[in-house]
Amino acid sequence: MRLVKRIQEDSPGVFSVETGLEAWLWRRQRQQEEGFTLLEVTIVLVISGILAAIALPSFLNQTSKAKQVEASMYLGTLNRAQQGYMLEHARFADSASALGVVLYNSPNYSYSIHLDSAGNQYAVHDAKALSSSLRPYVGMAALTQGGTNNAKVETALCRAKTAQLGEAEQPVLSDASMTCATSTEPVGQ
């Protein structure tokens, strides 16, 4: 009863408590009623929305870059494998399996190899973008003539300047050199 008396003295006329247990329950319920106001919740939601608006484009850009690394890696592998194949067989390979390269099915890119009509001047490796948010890539291994009439196998790896569906434009090949087409840019240079 001492607890009841003290509560009644602290707040006279507000309530009447008959037992100590009821006073304890009342105090416990009063503590549980404390929480956040609508204004505080709104401020937290607005700040969260601003942070999400800043972070989301950056996150989506990073996922596209990661997908594009796949194409760059595969075409770089095909270019190097074609160099070795040309030195051993005096011609370019017309498939990844002939090069000993395994290309896995990808939801991002479709890969293909195209040769010149004789198969001994160049090989083009396409990474056809299957999504409009990705850049297509193209690689080329080609036989060029050096300044002293020495033949050498050069490679180029190019990507489209913009994201688009389909293939990138094939590199431009001359007798002495190879460069990326105007609608593409070199990768890793």
Structure tokens at 51: 């942070």
Amino acid sitting at position 143: L
pLDDT tens digits, 105-143: 889 999 999 998 876 789 999 999 999 989 999 999 998
pLDDT tens digits, 154-166: 899 999 999 999 9
pLDDT, the chain, mean: 83
Alpha-carbon distances, residue 169 vs 24, 121, 164, 179, 182 (angstroms): 80, 18, 12, 11, 8
Q: Does the structure show a pLDDT above 60 at 4? A: no
Q: Per the domain annotation, does 90 fall within a domain?
A: yes
How many separate domains does the chain show?
A: 1
Domain span at residue 105 reads 62-186
Angle, in degrees to the nearest 10, between helices 2-10 and 20-32: 50
Q: Does the structure show a pLDDT above 80 at 45? A: yes
CATH of residue 151: 3.30.700
SS3 category, 173: strand
Q: Per the domain annotation, does 118 fall within a domain?
A: yes
Q: Per the domain annotation, does 27 fall within a domain?
A: no
The span from the CA of 137 to the CA of 161, in Å, is 10
Q: Does the structure show a pLDDT above 70 at 17? A: no
Q: Per the domain annotation, does 2 fall within a domain?
A: no
Q: Per the domain annotation, does 16 fall within a domain?
A: no
Q: Per the domain annotation, does 54 fall within a domain?
A: no
Q: Per the domain annotation, does 78 fall within a domain?
A: yes
Taking a C-beta distance cutoff of 8 angstroms, is the pair 102, 96 a contact? yes
Q: Per the domain annotation, does 15 fall within a domain?
A: no
pLDDT tens digits, 59-108: 877 888 888 899 999 999 999 999 999 989 988 998 899 999 888 888 99
